[in-house]
């Protein structure tokens, strides 16, 4: 790995970590536990397009572990891994089709992130009634995926011009 790529990795990891922290400071007004915008996913989405599948995967994994170890606990680590890894896998598959625009790739990631977290919650707390949150979380995934996708599209266009 060359020096330029190491520096880029460091900056992207720090950016994802800071965005994760900032998100803990922003109250989400709907009162659903765990509902957030997903700002750090903007970094993962950008990495997926600019660095490739493997680098985006590793960056996402590092971000999840750093954030959980710093701001969370074992439960938040499980929830973040379930949501983040499913989200990454779905976004990677969506991107691989080469037919979907960035915004739809992002929306697929937002929706699948919430599905992963709900499934992890059902498994961890052993209560199927948690699935009642799924329709609300799917709606939130569409909204947040759209917003992150719009921002991601803009960032990728700006990076293309550099």
Using N-to-C axis directions, what is the helix angle for 53-71 and 3-25, rounded to 10°?
Answer: 40
Number of structural domains found in the chain = 1
Residues in the chain, pLDDT under 50: none
Record the tokens describing residue 144, joined without a space: 């947040």
Model pLDDT, residue 31: 64
Q: Half-sphere exposure of 117 toward its Cβ, with a 13 Å CA cutoff?
A: 28
pLDDT tens-digit readout, 15-38: 999 998 888 787 766 666 667 788
Confidence (pLDDT) at 144: 93
Domain extent for 55: 3-161
According to the model, what pLDDT value does residue 32 have? 67
Q: What is the pLDDT of residue 30?
A: 60
Contact 108, 94 (CB under 8 A): yes
d(CA 124, CA 120): 6
Question: Domain with 113 in it: what CATH number?
Answer: 1.10.1760.20
For 16-49, the DSSP string reads HHHHHHHHHHS--TT--TT----THHHHHHHHHH
DSSP assignment of 88-138: HHHHHHHHHTS-S-HHHHHHHHHHHHHHHHHHHHHHHHT-GGGGGGHHHHH
The reported pLDDT for the residue numbered 8 is 83
């Amino acid at each position: 790995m060359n020096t330029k790529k190491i520096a880029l990795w460091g900056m992207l990891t720090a950016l994802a970590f800071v965005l994760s922290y900032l998100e803990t400071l922003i109250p989400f007004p709907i009162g659903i536990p765990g509902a957030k915008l997903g700002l750090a996913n903007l970094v993962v989405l950008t990495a997926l397009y600019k660095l490739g599948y493997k680098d985006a995967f590793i960056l996402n994994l590092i971000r999840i572990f750093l954030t959980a170890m710093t701001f969370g606990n074992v439960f938040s680590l499980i929830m973040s891994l379930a949501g983040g890894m499913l989200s990454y896998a779905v976004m990677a598959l969506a991107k691989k089709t080469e037919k979907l625009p960035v915004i739809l790739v992002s929306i697929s990631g937002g929706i699948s992130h919430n599905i992963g977290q709900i499934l992890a919650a059902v498994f961890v707390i052993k209560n199927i009634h948690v699935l009642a949150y799924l329709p609300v979380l799917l709606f939130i995934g569409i909204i947040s995926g759209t917003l992150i996708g719009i921002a991601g599209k803009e960032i990728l266009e700006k990076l293309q011009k550099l």
